[in-house]
Amino acid sequence: MKALSIWQPWAQLLATGVKHDETRSWGTKYRGPILIHAAKRQLDYTSEFIELHRSPFYKYFKVMGFGTYENILKLPYGAIIGMAELVDCKKIDQTYHDFVRDFCHSDYAFGNFTVGRYAWRMEKPVLFDAPIPAKGKQGLWEWEGELPELRKGQ
C-alpha cells in the first residue's frame, strides 16, 4: 500500500481528520488509500511553537491536546499511525488559496497554501490504535508490512 512520511504534528492532524489537505511542492496522479507515516525526525519546534501561541489558529492545537511543546514530543515518531483516502491532488491557484484561507481554517493553519504548491486532499481518516514502527522514505513509497484489522465504522 502507498505511504507518505509526514512530520509530526501534521501527521497526527491528518490521521485524526483535523487537517484534510497535505501541502507539498510536488503533485501526484495517485488516488486511493494511503498510509500516514509519522517521520522519525523531530523538528526543533521551539520557535514555531512560540509563534503558534500568538496565532489565531492555536485553538486547533488545543483541541488536539497539543497545548504544550512537551505534548508534541510525546506523539509517535518513526511509525505508521493511520491511513486515509487520497481523493485529489490540486495545484494551488489564488482562488483555492483564498477559499482555504476564508473557509477551511484548520487546514490553512497547518498547511503552506502558497500559489504553485499542491494540496493533497485526504478523506476518511483513520488513526490506528497503536503505531506500527516503520522506516519512512521520501516521496510516495510502498509499505509491504501487515496492517491492523480495522473496526467497522473506521
69 membership: H or E segment, kind and range: helix 69-73
Residue 148 belongs to some domain of the structure:
no
Measured in degrees and rounded to the nearest 5, phi and psi for residue 53 equal: -60, -30
Residue 150 belongs to some domain of the structure:
no
The pTM (predicted TM-score) of the whole model is 0.84
Residue 131 belongs to some domain of the structure:
yes
Cell numbers 480495522 label which residue? 150
Look up the domain containing 98 and give its range: 2-142
So what's the pLDDT on residue 42?
Answer: 75
Instruction: Find the CATH number of the domain harbouring 14.
Output: 2.30.130.30
pLDDT digits (tens, 9 = 90+) for 54-90: 555 555 555 555 555 666 778 899 999 999 999 999 9
Largest CA-CA distance found in the chain, in angstroms, rounded: 42
Residue 154 belongs to some domain of the structure:
no
3-state secondary structure of 70: helix
Burial class (CB in 10 A: 0-12, 13-18, 19+), 123: exposed
- DSSP class of residue 41 equals P
So what's the pLDDT on residue 109?
Answer: 80
Per-residue pLDDT for 9 more than 90? no
Residue 133 belongs to some domain of the structure:
yes
Q: Say how many CA atoms lie within 13 Å of 37 toward its Cβ.
A: 24
78 membership: H or E segment, kind and range: none
Q: How far apart are CA 66 and CA 53, in angstroms?
A: 11
Residue 105 belongs to some domain of the structure:
yes
Residue 104 belongs to some domain of the structure:
yes
Q: How far apart are CA 125 and CA 120, in angstroms?
A: 13
Q: How far apart are CA 101 and CA 53, in angstroms?
A: 19
pLDDT digits (tens, 9 = 90+) for 32-62: 999 999 999 876 655 555 555 555 555 555 5
* Backbone conformation region of residue 104, classed left if phi is above 0, alpha if psi is from -120 to 50, else beta: beta
pLDDT digits (tens, 9 = 90+) for 80-135: 999 999 999 999 999 999 999 999 987 888 889 999 999 999 999 999 999 999 99
Q: Tell me how many domains the chain contains.
A: 1
Instruction: Copy the grid coordinates of residue 119.
Output: 494540496
Residue 147 belongs to some domain of the structure:
no
